[in-house]
Amino acid sequence: MMLRNMILASIAILSAASMAAAEEGEWVQLFNGRDLEGWTPKITGYPAGENFGDTFRVEDGLLKVDYDGYNGAFDRRFGHLFYNRPFSNYVLRAEYRFVGDQIGGGPGWARRNSGIMIHGQTPESMGKDQNFPVSIEVQLLGGFGEGSRPTGNLCTPGTHVEIDGELLTRHVTKSSSDTYHGEQWVTIEIEAHGDKEIIHRVNGKEVLRYSAPQLDPRDGSFNTLKEHNGGKMLAGGTISIQSESHPVHFRKIEIRELD
């Protein structure tokens, strides 16, 4: 009888765990490893959908951001590759690495620099010459071989957030992550709860937490986006990856939606 009760208890625990996993959703691969199906590029100076210079491409099962089609000059052609549907409550996980050298003409701050934009506007709503979507940026940085340079930072193009109830209007907030030099793979995880709380994790370690993502009233597109959004608070939006002049690879981009 005791063994039977133990087995039944174990089954109940496993069933509860399975139900919880089902309720929260399974991991879904946003990048299929073969092509850019489901994604739309938007590069400064070009209309949405035009992938200038084959900036975003899939080779050897990797999603690569490269600039060999730029004739050696970046010329402020910042780019973003948008997934074609918005998300609100989720955990997003990606594996990335920086490779090679920065293309000529890239700004100094963009060396070994990329990002994942969340809660963003659509590529179609961006101006032709707009450099960055209004969004919350999870900044990805690589080390220079020595010194400290954390990754998983926060940047806020056209947005604000709060930390401990204080509205932050600065553009960059650093995380507490380690520095990752060379071409090693790094795992970034973003847990988003609508317009409530957002958490950054790097290689499984929490490195930053903030809340109340919202539109910046000083941004020129504030009124238009506020009307489209139904208010200034950002409960969700697009997900995109950046091209900022340094080659970067992604080998996995997956999402698990939350209730």
Q: pLDDT tens, 158-175?
A: 999 999 999 999 999 999
pLDDT in tens, 186-234: 999 999 999 999 999 999 999 999 999 999 999 999 999 999 999 999 9
Phi, psi of 15 (to 5 degrees): -65, -45
- What are the φ and ψ backbone dihedral angles of 56, each rounded to 5 degrees? -100, 125
- Can you give the pLDDT at residue 28? 98
**CATH code 2.60.120.560 for 28-257:** yes
Q: Where are the domains of the chain?
A: 28-257
DSSP string, 81-144: EEESS-BSEEEEEEEEEE-S-PPTT--GGGTTEEEEEEEEPPGGGS-TT--S-SSEEEEEE---
Could you tell me the sign of the dihedral formed by the alpha carbons of 57, 62, 63, 67, in that order?
Answer: negative
Q: How confident is the model at residue 24 (pLDDT cuts 50, 70, 90)?
A: low
Pull the structure tokens for residue 64: 């690569």
Q: Please check the confidence at residue 12 and state whether its pLDDT lies above 50.
A: no
Q: Which residue has the tokens 């969340």?
A: 118
With beta carbons less than 8 A apart as the criterion, state whether 78 and 56 touch: no
Span 90-96, mean pLDDT? 98
Tokens of 240: 């995109």
Alpha helices in the chain (DSSP H): 2-24, 222-229
Q: Are 259 and 24 in contact (CB under 8 A)?
A: yes
Query: Does 17 have pLDDT greater than 80?
Result: no
| Predicted local distance difference test score (pLDDT) of residue 94 | 98
Supply the pTM of this predicted model.
Answer: 0.89
- Amino acid type, 115: G
Specify whether the CB–CB gap between 210 and 173 falls below 8 A.
Answer: yes
CA–CA distance, 227 with 144 (Å, rounded to integer)? 43
Tokens of 175: 């995380």
Tokens matching residue 194: 């609508």
